[in-house]
């Protein structure tokens, strides 16, 4: 019965029989047979099969909630009894936003590399990366949104603080006090980051569309340094520029908008040695970011 429940939870978390079979190291027909066996024993269907995967029934949702913690605890006990190997030789599949991964996350994993762990990185948006984490294609994700998926464990990692910046020479040629007239550089046409800063600090939306839109914060930083316009960026990305005067804060504030980043793992695997080592390193180093 435990094997059947383990298979059920893998299917529930993966969303497809194929991905569940891959994560379990079983054939798809075996997973299908075990799932049908469990449904037969409990007397009700657990999933509705579709072209793109399986959809859990209310009974499946209830069963998954009851199994989520106990099954992962049992897996940890079994791993301890069998003597879990160390991190050396393992591969960590890591996902996160390109800018933070480049500037902070990867440098913080120096000790993980020294322990013999190989790392493979996926850069992208939080929702896409969290889906890959749920499917078992990633081990660890730095997420800009709080994960709310079954089987995913999330913990706060870092509060990124946003500030409006521009090049000093760019500002000297304009009326610095009239922030509403500054040409804006943005991540997307909707100005999501700029708009958030504007509403938080100035109490309203930005007054104009951006003169430059590019979905890369590093490119926005480079454009600001070149004097093209003003933009809102996380402080970690421009800390050195603010110190040496390459960029300056347009309207410093004691109450900047912040966004909490989360470290997400699958509850079933977060204590595996290579994942646990990277997780501990990031949680420790993030205090210094």
- Walk me through the domains of the chain, giving residue ranges and CATH numbers: 1-82 (1.10.10.10), 90-159+259-287 (3.40.190.10), 160-257 (3.40.190.10)
Q: Which carries the bigger pLDDT value, residue 150 or residue 229?
A: 229
* pLDDT tens-digit readout, 211-259: 999 999 999 999 999 999 999 999 999 999 999 999 999 999 999 999 9
C-alpha dist (Å) from residue 234 to 52, 76, 115, 249: 38, 38, 31, 12
21: pLDDT strictly greater than 90: no
At 51, the pLDDT band (50, 70, 90 cuts) reads: confident
Q: Which carries the bigger pLDDT value, residue 126 or residue 134?
A: 126
Burial state string for 53-65 with b = 16 or more CB within 10 A and e = fewer than 16? bbebeeebeebbe
At 184, the pLDDT band (50, 70, 90 cuts) reads: very high
At 176, the pLDDT band (50, 70, 90 cuts) reads: low
At 79, the pLDDT band (50, 70, 90 cuts) reads: low
CB 232 within 8 A of CB 238: no
262/126 Cα distance (integer angstroms): 10
* pLDDT of 87: 84
Tally of CB atoms within 10 A around 123: 14
Q: Which sign, positive or negative, has the C-alpha torsion 63, 69, 75, 78?
A: negative
If you ran DSSP here, which 8-state letter would residue 106 be given? G
* pLDDT of 76: 55
Six token digits for residue 15 = 């969303």
Q: Which residues contact 233 (CB under 8 A, 6 or more apart)?
A: 162, 163, 165, 193, 217, 220, 221, 224
Q: Which carries the bigger pLDDT value, residue 94 or residue 69?
A: 94
What is the β-pairing status of strands 91-96 and 185-186?
unpaired
If you ran DSSP here, which 8-state letter would residue 184 be given? B
105/109 Cα distance (integer angstroms): 7
C-alpha dist (Å) from residue 13 to 7, 61, 97, 150: 10, 11, 23, 7
* pLDDT tens-digit readout, 264-276: 998 878 888 899 9
* pLDDT of 74: 67
Q: Which residues contact 8 (CB under 8 A, 6 or more apart)?
A: 34, 35, 38, 46, 60, 63, 64, 67
Residues above pLDDT 70, as percent of the chain = 92
30/37 Cα distance (integer angstroms): 10
For the chain, the farthest-separated pair of C-alpha atoms sits apart, in whole angstroms, at 76
Of 190, 183, 202, which is closest to residue 253 (Cα–Cα)? 202
83: pLDDT strictly greater than 60: no
* pLDDT of 136: 83
Average confidence (pLDDT) over 94-123: 95
Average the pLDDT over each of 151-155, 225-229, 281-285 and give the range with the smallest value.
151-155
183/45 Cα distance (integer angstroms): 58
Residues above pLDDT 90, as percent of the chain = 65
């Amino acid at each position: 019965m435990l094997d059947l429940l383990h298979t059920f939870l893998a299917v529930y978390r993966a969303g497809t029989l194929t991905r569940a079979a891959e994560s379990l190291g079983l054939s798809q027909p075996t997973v299908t047979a075990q799932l049908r066996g469990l449904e037969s024993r409990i007397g009700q269907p657990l999933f509705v099969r579709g072209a793109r995967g399986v959809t859990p029934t209310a009974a499946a949702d209830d069963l998954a909630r009851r199994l989520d913690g106990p099954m992962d605890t049992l897996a940890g006990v079994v791993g301890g009894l069998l003597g879990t190997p160390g991190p050396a030789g393992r591969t960590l599949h890591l996902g996160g936003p390109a800018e933070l991964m480049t500037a902070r996350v990867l440098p913080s994993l120096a000790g993980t590399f020294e322990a013999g762990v190989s790392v493979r990185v996926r850069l992208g948006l939080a929702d896409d990366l969290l889906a890959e984490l749920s499917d078992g294609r990633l081990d660890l994700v730095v997420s800009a949104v709080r994960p709310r998926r079954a089987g995913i464990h999330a913990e706060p990692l870092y509060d990124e603080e946003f500030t409006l910046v521009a090049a000093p020479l760019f500002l000297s040629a304009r009326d610095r006090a009239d922030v509403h007239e500054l040409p804006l550089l943005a991540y997307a046409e909707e100005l999501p980051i700029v708009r958030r800063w504007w509403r938080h600090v100035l109490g309203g939306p930005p007054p104009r569309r951006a003169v430059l839109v590019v979905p890369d914060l590093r490119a926005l930083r480079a454009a600001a340094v070149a004097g093209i316009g003003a933009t809102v960026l996380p402080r970690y990305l421009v800390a050195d520029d603010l110190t040496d005067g390459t960029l300056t804060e347009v309207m410093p504030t004691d109450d900047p908008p912040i966004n909490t980043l989360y470290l997400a793992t699958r509850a079933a695997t977060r204590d595996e040695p290579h994942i646990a080592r990277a997780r501990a390193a990031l949680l420790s180093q993030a205090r210094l970011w």
